[in-house]
Structure 1
Amino acid sequence: MFDEDGSLDPLLKFLLYAVLALAIGKMLWEWLTEDVSRWITVDLWGLIADHPWWTGLIALGALAALILLTRLLSFLFDAGTSTHVYDDPDEDYASSAPLSEAVDPDVLTFKMKQLAAMSATGFEQACADLLARDGFRGTRRIGGAGDLGVDVTARDDDGRLLILQCKQYQNPVGSGHVQKFNGTARLHHGADLPIMIALNGFTQPAVDFAQHHQLILMGRPELKKWAHGHHLYDVLGIENSTQ
């Protein structure tokens, strides 16, 4: 009956549980088929038949309460999952720049949480829109399968070609991605200014490689300034004859 350690034999334990489950199931069945069935078919129906108006009012009230509860839960759920409300003061462009450098509130800006919530395509398009905001010409989003390392292209007023690759990765971009970009940005696309953008920055080996090959990297701090209204060339320290 018992094992060496004093516990009940597993087979006997199973049989006891099965008998207990059958007994509980039988009790529930009798209660449902007798008491509950009688309450629905006799008591409740009799109450409805004797007081139809009160029953109707109660039913309408219950339905209205259910609708209100459903809308309230839907509102609370939307508020908890919305990606369009950003109130982190650290992501406000005014907090990241001196008052003397504050940008015009009417210009296009993005908060970092907005950029993080976008799809990969949306992130690329946001970068293209920021280029257009800064006055670059012929801005186009090209990114997609077979783009050979180019997500956005544009030209500045000096005619220089900008090739942007936009990475929205959750982790810093590694050296391998920067090496691939180096192999196509100038040789294949003829970039005058090859710029790689990473939402969450780059690893140190990636930074070292880019410096050696004169690639322009835009990490999170630089992207934040650009997205918050500063001109791309001001952020990157690039000279422009028209500025």
Structure 2
Amino acid sequence: MTPGVKAVVGLIVGITLARLLWQWVTGTALPWIGDHPWWTGFACLGLVLLTATLLDRPGRGGYQLLYGEDVVVEDTEPDTPTYRMRELAAMTPTAFEEACAELLVRDGFLHTRRVGGAGDLGADVVAWDSDSRKLVLQCKHYARPVGSKEVQTFNGTARPEHKAHHPIMIGLSGFTQPAADFAARHGIVLMGRPELKRWAHGSHLYDVIEAEALE
């Protein structure tokens, strides 16, 4: 019920109840109700609407109070996590890897898990797409652009060690030009700040990196 409708209904109910109270005090309530059926009907309708509104108020948080029981109202909106760049920048490196894993799950990738840590051999997050192609992500939460040396190191393990179909390196602060040139020669997918922003804001990973072209 909108605030305007609530105000009108409340006014009608208030006036009618005041008149009923006055008639009750003077001992002529029942005759007055019989002589004023429209006013009585408005009062009853207003009371029903106000009661329904009050019962619905607990439902603003996802529940409705019906017949004294809490009934769950299911949220029909899908869970689609997104991140702002400033949120990603404020994360720890581990939280950044976990956020990338959550975005993969959002996009429908399978068996997604974060494996980053000591001895990960360059694989921070792994996942598979619906065609059983393996993605290996290395997530660089650097305040500087990722250099060619880091890309070369990732190139040495992504396919030989992890059998990656899509080796993907994510740089929060982008990549140097030598790093980009090396990655282009060796088929390493780089996601710099613009690509990461599109992905974090809701675009599917494959729409961002155009992985279909890497077949």
Q: TM-score, normalised by structure 1?
A: 0.55
Give the match for residue 200 of structure 2: 227
Q: Secondary structure at the match of 1:239?
A: helix
Runs of 4+ in 1 over 4 A off after TM superposition: none
Give the match for residue 105 of structure 2: 132
Q: Distance in 1 between matches of 2:79 and 2:130?
A: 23
Unmatched segments (≥5 aa) in structure 1: 1-103
Give the match for residue 135 of structure 2: 162
Give the match for residue 218 of structure 1: 191
Give the match for residue 150 of structure 2: 177
1:114 aligned partner, one-letter code:
E
Identity %: 65
Contact 2:104 2:205 (C-alpha < 8 Å) held by counterparts: yes
Q: Distance in 2 between matches of 1:187 and 1:109?
A: 32
Q: For residues 191 and 121 of structure 1, do their structure 2 counterparts lie closer, same or farther at Cα, with a shift above 3 Å needed?
A: same
Deviation, 1:239, is: 2.2
Q: Which has the larger radius of gyration?
A: 1
Give the match for residue 81 of structure 2: 108
Give the match for residue 190 of structure 1: 163
Deviation, 1:106, is: 5.8
Contact 2:104 2:127 (C-alpha < 8 Å) held by counterparts: yes
Contact 2:122 2:138 (C-alpha < 8 Å) held by counterparts: yes
Give the match for residue 176 of structure 2: 203
Q: For residues 106 and 153 of structure 1, do their structure 2 counterparts lie closer, same or farther at Cα, with a shift above 3 Å needed?
A: closer
Q: For residues 105 and 111 of structure 1, do their structure 2 counterparts lie closer, same or farther at Cα, with a shift above 3 Å needed?
A: farther
Unmatched segments (≥5 aa) in structure 2: 1-76
Give the match for residue 141 of structure 1: 114
Q: Distance in 1 between matches of 2:169 and 2:207?
A: 16
Q: Distance in 1 between matches of 2:156 and 2:164?
A: 11
- The aligned length equals 137
Q: Distance in 2 between matches of 1:223 and 1:206?
A: 17
Contact 2:79 2:106 (C-alpha < 8 Å) held by counterparts: no
CA RMSD of aligned residues (A): 1.5
Q: Distance in 1 between matches of 2:127 and 2:167?
A: 11
